[in-house]
Chains A and B, each alone.
Chain A
Amino acid sequence: DIQMTQSPSSLSASIGDRVTITCRASQDISNKLAWYQQRPGKVPNLLMYAASTLQSGVPSRFSGSGSGTDFTLTISSLQPEDVATYYCQKYNNNPWTFGQGTEVEIK
């Protein structure tokens, strides 16, 4: 099975900082990657799909890139409401594996 590895596991940044999270697949998954945001105590929420397509209603400070095995999620200017854990997930085929998550905090 394809493994999904995120880095870092956690990060602390200041309001307004640019934040980048990386997700690596152990095999080529084309662009079949989604990103989810889970705020503390809340339900996961779809942020992005097809590696770089923003889900409706998601702020434009979020962007995604990558294809194949290496992907990034970028927050261009970190806001207080972005405190959350972010998960990548492959959906090219079974199993629909998640990365282990990246916790984003405010410094």
Chain B
Amino acid sequence: GQNIDQPTEMTATEGAIVQINCTYQTSGFNGLFWYQQHAGEAPTFLSYNVLDGLEEKGRFSSFLSRSKGYSYLLLKELQMKDSASYLCAVIHHAGNNRKLIWGLGTSLAVNP
């Protein structure tokens, strides 16, 4: 089957660095997304990884290890506005079927 695990909640301090982990199990992996979702708002795209390694985009970086079924999202220089839920989603591809499997999200609280 397919499964995604990420911590339910995390807390960090303004200005600090936080790493949000995501582990997945799927037989037809074809890429991994990270989205940010503020309460009551739509998810917004942060990053996409399909090859192993680190992708850096400003204060946010995303890492993927396909052999370990593992990804993390790294947020640097945390700001209060980074308080949100962070969703990990994996593309599962089987034959002509392609679907996005979503984790339940990690709720990050950034404290002053």
**Do these two chains interact?**
no
A contact residues vs B (CB 8 Å cutoff)? none
B contact residues vs A (CB 8 Å cutoff)? none
